[in-house]
Amino acid sequence: MLDKFITPVIKPLLTPVVMLMHKRGITADQLTVVGFLVGLLAVPLLAFEMWYGALVAITLNRILDGLDGALARYANQSSSAGGFLDITLDFLFYAAIPLGFILANPEQNAIAGSLLLATFIGTGSSFLAFAIAAEKFKLEKPQFKYKSFYYLNGLTEGTETIALFIAFCIWPQHFAVMASIFAIACGITIFTRIHGGYHTLKQQEAGANKAAENVPSSASSEVIND
């Protein structure tokens, strides 16, 4: 929900760092992989209840995640392969953080953490499934034109998720409550994405079928006139 407002603010701040990285020969895909590995360090840190160490790892992961896309665009390295790598590792990172809290305190966090992971699967699958269909119909990306594929909006997006992870690290004793509330918000996102995505694609299919029906009709008319 907040991504479309936060991204334009952050983007200019990354430019000087991106220019320096480009001069050093660093590629966007390298940043993506390094950022993912740094983010995974949060899991053992969380498991051993090193909350602020995990917070640093999560923050660095998000900074590198912002830099990789900016670097790809600056260096004209944007590609479907890079976009695929980025979003895949992002979703793996998102799933890893609740797992870390579950490992830290299974008795208190297992149910809420599992519920959050289940809804993460729902938000992720609805997001990616629509992106595939959007590519088929060549739908425009008005809010995220620089992305490799279509970004379907929702109540819980990247900005909200990272804010949640930060809150988890600052107030780990309230993980179960915050995770449960966010899981409900993810459920709303899943419903709106399925509902909106389904009807959008139905309209696209109806338009495509109507256009296809008109083609033979026109061809037949030309034959008769000849």
Q: What are the catalytic residues? A: 90
HEC string of the chain equals CCHHHHHHHHHHHHHHHHHHHHHCCCCHHHHHHHHHHHHHCHHHHHHCCCHHHHHHHHHHHHHHHHHHHHHHHHCCCCCHHHHHHHHHHHHHHHHHHHHHHHHHCHHHHHHHHHHHHHHHHHHHHHHHHHHHHHHHCCCCCCCCCCCCCCCCCCCCCHHHHHHHHHHHHHCHHHHHHHHHHHHHHHHHHHHHHHHHHHHHHHHHHHHHHHHHHHHHHHHHHHHHHC
Cα distance from N-terminal residue to C-terminal residue, the chain: 57
- Type of residue found at 169: C
